[in-house]
Structure 1
């Protein structure tokens, strides 16, 4: 599906995201019921008032609407239904910061599922900002049924661009930057450039947190079949090295922590990685600005 916006400029995202025939797509699962973790069922029932017997229909309807907007693997596989931010080892610190009024920016927010989890766990929504290159925001409101109660802000913008005045207003103000399943779409140089852009929104003490596809062996790979795009797979050592480079480029200093997880450890299916290279993992990470 091509929108009018797509014809105006090249976005900072891979071409395969623009459209995939569901019937032939290697990262689309017809049934994603098994993705509904207990925490997500609770969120839907208590926060969104979707009864247990309606949840299967609800998630499939929303997933297909979202996939038709952008054909990303995490959408087609339903991996967004498994809590990710909440499982980070430092989630209690993140949640406390947000409860205390931290400005929080979720880059690649998709339907804003991590932001809703923070709110469900007791954080106020007024200083939450969701940023994405294309809007899934209406789909998110439909999924969570909270258009009248969620007071967070959504910005449709490419965070690598200076086109958005709303984004520009957040520079040097953000306390927590969430960026999951975004950076891995680029090679090393472009990940460095993207991380440099993130630094512009940070200040002393800012946390950059999230996850992305990594590998036991840090390397650049080309995805199989029609997805011939170069992507850098991090392990904890290469992730730390990248933030050293980013710090030198921005005259800042960062400390990192990172953890490699298997797909089953993330609550996903091992078969979800069948179209990827050997040694593939998920890398969860924290980069903390210390100077």
Structure 2
């Protein structure tokens, strides 16, 4: 099953795709809904200044690393609120469960759970780059009041603070726009490391959303020095977690749904790649 590219396991359903140029949409003219709510209520950004503030932060962040998720303002999306299990998760954090936003970038989910009443001492964020965490402080204007702890760590470094200090300690891991940045084999490795951070008790959970493709395939990003990633569909996503369970000797309940990404032309998505969004909840059974 070299790199997962075999017909029977799902990956390799379509030829490799090319993203083309930079994925970067025009500056916003309005900010609404959840993002505006958190910026006004949590960050005390004046209503008249929200749009300018957000556009400035997007442009600063894109210079750190030109991820499509930043170019498309996905740091304004608070994905946790879309899950039916969010109220239950929030209550568990209030009662002492440990929550990690893995690959947190600006860490909007960290702010949301604290705004909703979670104790900051139970809330953590982790990312490879401290630049993103610092940009998060600048976006949300809360370095002096947030209280949550951020960990700069590489998920693949077994000596990192994340892997050593939090091994087996976490109850909830939110990981949106995280598992779709590597090729097949590396994604399996990342998934195993994420599971190793979870408590072994039944009910600990990993949830999130990420970009996929209707037919699973490798996607190449020329503007990122030819970096490539394997984009999944529900079939390959379940297959990946089957490998994780088998290799780790554990049992997981894997739930995944698929939706279409709107306005692909506006956001410069190559239409032929048939981009989707996967939404997943992975619960430890044993």
Same fold (TM > 0.5): yes
Distance in structure 1 (CA, Å) of the matches to 2:264 and 2:82: 17
Q: 1:141 to 1:90 in 2, by over 3 A?
A: same
Q: Distance in 2 between matches of 1:95 and 1:25?
A: 39
1:12 aligned residue: none
Hey, what does 1:68 align to over in structure 2?
A: 63
Question: In structure 2, how many angstroms separate the alpha carbons of the residues matched to 1:277 and 1:108?
Answer: 28
**How far apart, in 2, do the equivalents of 1:85 and 1:290 lie?**
21
Contact 1:263 1:270 in 2 (8 A): no
Does the Cα contact within 8 Å between 2:269 and 2:275 map onto a contact in 1?
A: no
Aligned to 2:149: 153
Bigger mean CA offset, 89-98 vs 123-132: 89-98
8 Å contact kept, 2:120–2:148: yes
Matches within 5 A, 1:83-102: 83-102=78-97
Instruction: Indicate the RMSD between aligned Cα atoms, in angstroms.
Output: 2.0
SS of 2:169 mapped into structure 1:
coil
**Alignment partner, residue 260 of structure 2:** 262
1:197 has 2:203 as partner: no
Which residue is equivalent to 2:136?
140
1:129: which partner in 2?
A: 124
Partner of 1:251: 249
Aligned residues: 263
Measure the CA separation in 1 of the matches of 2:249 and 2:156.
Answer: 19
Please state whether the residue corresponding to 2:120 is helix, strand or coil. coil
Aligned partners of 1:233 and 1:154: how far apart in 2?
28
Q: How do 1:13-28 residues align onto structure 2 when only pairs under 5 Å count?
A: 26-28=22-24
Correspondent of 1:32 among 22, 28, 35: 28
Structure 2 segments unaligned to the other structure (5+ residues): 1-19
Which blocks of at least 5 consecutive residues in structure 1 are unaligned? 1-23
Distance 2:77 2:194 in 1: 25
| 2:48 corresponds to which of 45, 53, 62 | 53
* Distance in 1 (alpha carbons) for counterparts of 2:58 and 2:24: 10
Secondary structure in 2 aligned to 1:259?
Answer: strand
